[in-house]
Structures are given as C-alpha cells and as structure tokens.
Amino acid sequence: MLGSQEMKITVFLATCSLLLTGTLSSAVNADLIGLWHMDGNTDDATSNGINGELIGDTAFTDDVPSVLGGGQSLLLNTEFTLEGGVSEDEIDLADNAGYVDLGNPDLLNFGTDNFTVASWMKVPEFLFQRGNIFSNGGDNGGGVRYVVGYLENGGRSIVLTTDDNATKRQAQADAFDWVVDDEEWHHVVGVKEDTELRVYIDGELAAENFDVPDGYDLSGTDQQPAYIGVGADSGSGALEKYFQGWVDDVAVWNEALTEDQIANVMSGDFSEWISDGILGDYNDNGQLDAGDLDLQAAAIAANDLAYDLNNDGATNYADRQVWVKDLKSTWIGDANLDGVFDSGDFVVAFTAGKYETGDPAGWADGDFDGNMLFDSADFVASFIDGGYEAGPVAAVAAVPEPSSILLILVGLLGVLRIRRK
C-alpha cells in the first residue's frame, strides 16, 4: 500500500502528465541582443553569441571616440577610406571590399516589435558615397529590411530605413543641420517604437517619422543575413552600399531605448544590460550553478531588482526562466544542471528529502519555481516547460510518452523506499 509521501507523488505526477499535451512558448526578453565593441575582434559581448565574421579589407585601429577612453575601432574598406572614399561603382568592383557578416540569427528578426540600432561612426571629410552602417534583410524589389545608413537619399546624413515590401518608411536627418562627414566621431541611433521612427545623432533627436502603419511587420528580414558595413539585394543576395569609414560599439536591442538610455550607451555604459562578469553568476564563482539559482530564489522573495534579468521592473519566475533557458541553456527541472531533464534529476531532487516537508529547499533539492520549497508547483513548472527527455534545450522538445511518466513514478517510489530502509 502506498504511503502518504508516495501517494502525493503519484497524484501530482498524474496531474503533471495532463500538462504535457502542450507547452508554453517563451517570448524574447526585452534586452540587448548584440554588442560588438570591435576591440580587436567582432565577437558579440552579450551572451547571445552573435559573433561576426570579418570579410575583405578591414583593420582594427586605436582611433576611438574619446568618451570611450580606449579600446579599438573597426576600419572598413581601409584602402578606399584612407584615400578619402571612392564611388559606389568602384567599390562594387573591388574583390576585397570589407564588411562584417553576422549571419542570420532569429534574435535580429523583430517582426512587429520595437528595436534600436546604435553605433559610433566616422567617415572621411566630405565623403559623398552612401553606405550602410548596420543592415538586416534585403534591399530593392521584394525586400524586407531595417537599415541605419549614411547618406541614404543624398542630402540626408543619417537615415533609419524600414521596409515591409509594401511600405517603406524613413526617418532622415538633414545633412546640413546634422553634419557627420567631418572626419570626427559621431554616435548615431535608429529607433523604431510602435508607429514612429526616430534618429538620434550625438544624443540629440535629429529626425522623426510618425507615419509607420499599425501592425507594421518586418518578419521577412531573415531573407538575407545581417551585416555591419554593407547591405544585400533581396533576391540575389549581391552586396551593395559598402560603408567607408570607422565603426565602434555597434549594438542592437529588441526594445526602443529612451533618451537617457541612449546617453548612457553613448558614454560606453551598457551596464543596464550586461555586467563585467558572467551574467547570472550571483555567487561570483565564475560559473552558472545551483548556488546562483538559490540566491535568485531569495531575490524573488524580496523582489530585489538587481536580479531582474528581463528588465521588466520585477524579479519573479520570469527571471528564473531567463537564467535557466537563456543563460544556462537547459530546462526547468534539470536539478543537476547537466543540460538535460530526465529521471536522474528526480533522483537528485527526492534524495534530499524536502518534498512537501515545508523545509527550505534549493534548486538541487527540487525548488524549480523559486519559492524556496519543493512542492507540487515544482512539478507543474518543470513539465510545463516541456523538456523532460527532450535532450539538450537546443533540440526540439518532444512530449514524453505516457510510459515515461510511469517510469518517473516507479523511479521516485524506489528512491523513497530506499531512503526508508
């Protein structure tokens, strides 16, 4: 006959099995998606790993905006830039034109969501050739894209262009009012917020467009890769609009930055989104482990905003999901944090003997939802996440067969019986 502890497990595993008919999809967190400092490489400084590939004539230089105080910048098309710039036709014919290929990550495809693109840039004096500073998607007929560009449309210095292949919209800073072709560093930002586009130059609002249609959808930007320093034709993928100049601290967010945030970014301060250490390493031991999750659980109870990973103004279970899914790349329920959620995790959790005792529990003891207890809610959280026997989190999650649930139950009952002996 089943004991009370065993009966509780049986009941709640049966409940959780009902949850396996569906999973919750997680939205992308409002966050810094990519940051390229250009300090000797084109690696992404965020945890998203959108590392760039250098192509063609490029060089890292010690010429950087003075406000950044050091580091390096990336000079694109070194030969042409140092000559003062050449025509589009000439650079198109070059067999070693320089740019950065960022690939085609889903994180840079924003659909109907807001976004911000920022970069330091510098061009030769009186450069009259246009060039893309940052682009994602395809240009020309059939193109869906967003681009921050230099000298798009002739008499415009910095332009944010969006195009859903039906309606092209631009925020254009006038070249006479906003001079950037003076061989000096300038900070440029393009913001899409709901039905508005904005361009900021050196921290000041330089252009606006209030005519973005409702429901404006840029989902098709994945038709071509994202680039720093060039754009691509939507159909052929042929590269065009090469940038001739220097770039530094190129960054992209999936949210519309405020003017205060833009001012911080212009000063080189990205601390709102990333720290000098490992994001989520709360115990500062150089790794993401169960101790960090236990500190996070205490922070959830106190609503300590220092642990607000998704920047929504609250510290709660959503931040636990960010830590587990985005930072650690594993599943809710992975008690031993080995990258998979399987029966071994239940053995680890139940061996601690904390289930429904009311005693404080940590992640390794079964506290998956962050309430510092191991109870039925932790089963619910783990099975809703959908990772049981699905392999690593990067794999497609599969719903476990009913036989898997029975195996879990048998294993848990066995653990309890062993503990009683």
Query: What is the structure's pLDDT at 414?
Result: 52
Give the residue with greater pLDDT, 86 vs 330: 330
Q: pLDDT, tens digit, for every residue of 147-203?
A: 999 987 767 799 999 999 999 999 999 999 999 999 999 999 999 999 999 999 999
Tell which phi-psi region holds residue 32, choosing left (phi > 0), alpha (psi between -120 and 50) or beta.
beta
Query: What is the structure's pLDDT at 394?
Result: 66
Query: What is the structure's pLDDT at 312?
Result: 85
Q: State the SS3 of the chain.
A: CCCHHHHHHHHHHHHHHHHCCCCCCCCCCCCEEEEECCCCCCCCCCCCCCCCEEECCEEEECCCCHHHCCCCEEEECHHHHHCCCCCHHHHHHCCCCCEEECCCCHHHCCECCCEEEEEEEECCCCCCCCEEEEEEECECCCCCEEEEEECCCCCEEEEEEEECCCCEEEEEEECCCCCCCCCCCEEEEEEEECCEEEEEECCEEEEEECCCCCCCCEHHHHHCCEEECCEEECCCCCEECCCCEEEEEEEEECCCCCHHHHHHHHCCCCCCCCCCCCCCCCCCCCCCCHHHHHHHHHHHHHCCHHHCCCCCCCCCHHHHHHHHHHHCCCCCCCCCCCCCECHHHHHHHHHCCCECCCCCCCHHHCCCCCCCCECHHHHHHHHHHCCECCCCCCCCCCCCCHHHHHHHHHHHHHHHHHHHC
- Residue 260: phi and psi, rounded to 5, are -65, -40
Query: What is the structure's pLDDT at 398?
Result: 41
Residue 407 pLDDT > 70: no
Of 18-27, 55-64, 124-133, least confident by mean pLDDT is: 18-27
Q: pLDDT, tens digit, for every residue of 219-273?
A: 989 999 999 999 999 888 899 999 999 999 999 999 999 999 999 999 999 988 8
* Cβ-contact 295, 288 below 8 angstroms: no
* Cβ-contact 239, 55 below 8 angstroms: no
Q: What's the CA dihedral at 284, 288, 293, 295 to 10 degrees?
A: 0
Q: What's the CA dihedral at 336, 339, 416, 374 to 10 degrees?
A: 70
What value does the mean pLDDT take over residues 2-14? Answer: 54
Query: Positive or negative, the Cα torsion across 75, 77, 83, 85?
Result: negative
pTM: 0.62
What value does the mean pLDDT take over residues 306-328? Answer: 91
Give the residue with greater pLDDT, 111 vs 1: 111
Measured in residues, the chain has a length of 421
Measured between alpha carbons, how far is 74 from 249 in angstroms, rounded to an integer?
Answer: 9
Query: What is the structure's pLDDT at 278?
Result: 79
Residue 357 pLDDT > 60: yes
Nearest-5° Cα angle at 410, 407 to 412: 105
Q: pLDDT, tens digit, for every residue of 60-114?
A: 999 999 999 999 999 999 988 888 888 877 887 778 999 999 999 999 999 999 9
* Cβ-contact 13, 333 below 8 angstroms: no
* Range 362-366 contact pairs with CB under 8 angstroms and sequence separation of 24 or more: 362/290, 362/293, 362/294, 362/297, 363/290, 363/293, 363/294, 363/297, 363/335, 363/337, 364/290, 364/335, 364/336, 365/335, 366/335
Q: Give percent of the chain above pLDDT 70.
A: 85
**In the CATH hierarchy, which top-level class contains the domain 32-266?**
mainly beta
The first and second tokens of residue 131, run together, are 């060039």
Rounded to a whole number of angstroms, the distance between the first and last alpha carbons of the chain is 16
Distances (CA, A) of 383 to 21, 84, 377, 403: 10, 61, 10, 15
Q: Would you kindly state where each structural domain of the chain is located, as residue ranges? A: 4-26+276-420, 32-266
